[in-house]
Structure 1
Amino acid sequence: MDFEIRTATEDEYGRLGEITGAAYSGDGLLDLNDDDTYLNVLRDVAGRAGDGEVLVAVEDGRVLGGVTFAAPGSRLADVAGPAEAEFRMLAVAPEARGKGVGEALVRACTERARALGVRALVLSTQPAMLGAQRIYGRLGFVRTPELDWSPLPALKLLTYRLEL
């Protein structure tokens, strides 16, 4: 698969929002019967582009997936400390999974964090996101259970950190 990673353009926000929402809801990571508020957040690419950098993987004009990079001080950061960057909402379209898209997006976040001179790149993930966790392990991220947190009573998020 030959794709490029770059900053998303406004005309790609809608498609990336669909991919992100579908990745979380289709993989059973959201309880749509309780509350669809977070689904709306996942779909709101334009909203997060103002507080972070939204990256996309694109092949022949098709959006394959994306991720949101939060530099230090970004309102999008959930667990990042003062000299840390964070990435969120990593999602890959079903037809592009297993082809290196997710890993390439994480590597792009790592490059951006290094360019900023931060000491670490951090993230939160759900326990069920095993494919993503394999990527993080391959790239040198380590679990940081002391930073695990719960945005909702029934949802525990695991955290990872990559020292830069």
Structure 2
Amino acid sequence: MRIRLAEDADLKVIADVTVAAYSDFTLGPDDPYISHLRDTAARASQAELWVAEDADGTIVGTVTRCPPGSPWREISEPGEGEFRMLAVAPEVRGRGVGETLARHVLALCAGAGEDVVVMSSLNEMSAAHRIYERLGFRRLPERDWSPQEGVDLITFIRDGRSA
């Protein structure tokens, strides 16, 4: 598996992978969040959009790292790293793609001096939570939040100095 920054030619595939990965957690094709998930061009230009490629070059996962100043940051405080929209193609789940992408983002954050990393998730995303816990994240309930009525996000934090 290879991790690399997304290129313009990848954007539609990344959007499709992200929507497929989140399909169990949306309200269906009319969910307004779908357009947000599909907005790969904005994520690529306003944050860092990373992809995981299989040996044959197929994009099998993606994650968005939100560096300081990015409008995609939601919950991080100054000096903290943040990522979001970790997505793995449903047909390759269980092969370590999500963990590999998360480790990559943690390394990028550490390289930027961000020893503390935060992220939000839906409570129902238990498979992702197991990855985060393996990587040293813990719940941070005081930063749980709701971006809109009926959507409740839980927050995780990892302090790299003690993980």
* Common fold: TM-score over 0.5: yes
Unaligned stretches of 5+ residues in structure 2: none
Tell me if structure 1 keeps the 8 A contact 2:83–2:118: yes
Unaligned stretches of 5+ residues in structure 1: none
* Cα distance in structure 1, aligned partners of 2:145 and 2:78: 18
Aligned to 2:65: 69
Which portions of structure 1, spanning 4 or more consecutive aligned residues, are displaced by more than 6 angstroms? none
* Cα distance in structure 2, aligned partners of 1:13 and 1:37: 19
Q: How far does the alpha carbon of each residue in 1:88-126 deviate from its partner, in whole angstroms, 9 at most, with x for none?
A: 101100111000000000000000000000131110000
Q: How far does the alpha carbon of each residue in 1:132-157 deviate from its partner, in whole angstroms, 9 at most, with x for none?
A: 00000000001000000001121110
SS where residue 11 of structure 1 aligns?
helix
Overall identity of the aligned pairs, in %: 44
Aligned to 2:31: 36
How many residue pairs match? The answer is 159
Residue 96 (structure 1) aligned to one of 81, 87, 92: 92
SS where residue 46 of structure 2 aligns?
coil
* Cα distance in structure 1, aligned partners of 2:111 and 2:100: 16
SS where residue 131 of structure 1 aligns?
helix
Match status 1:49 vs 2:47? no
* Cα distance in structure 2, aligned partners of 1:150 and 1:104: 28
Tell me if structure 1 keeps the 8 A contact 2:20–2:90: no
Aligned to 2:157: 161
Once the 2 structures are TM-superposed, how far is the Cα of residue 159 of structure 1 from its aligned partner? 0.4
Q: 1:1-164 to 2 correspondence within 5 Å?
A: 3-25=1-23, 27=24, 29-32=25-28, 36-59=31-54, 60-164=56-160
Tell me if structure 2 keeps the 8 A contact 1:73–1:82: no
Once the 2 structures are TM-superposed, how far is the Cα of residue 36 of structure 1 from its aligned partner? 2.8
Q: CA RMSD in A?
A: 1.1
| AA partner of residue 2 (structure 2) | E
* Cα distance in structure 1, aligned partners of 2:75 and 2:36: 18
| AA partner of residue 4 (structure 1) | R
Tell me if structure 1 keeps the 8 A contact 2:76–2:82: yes
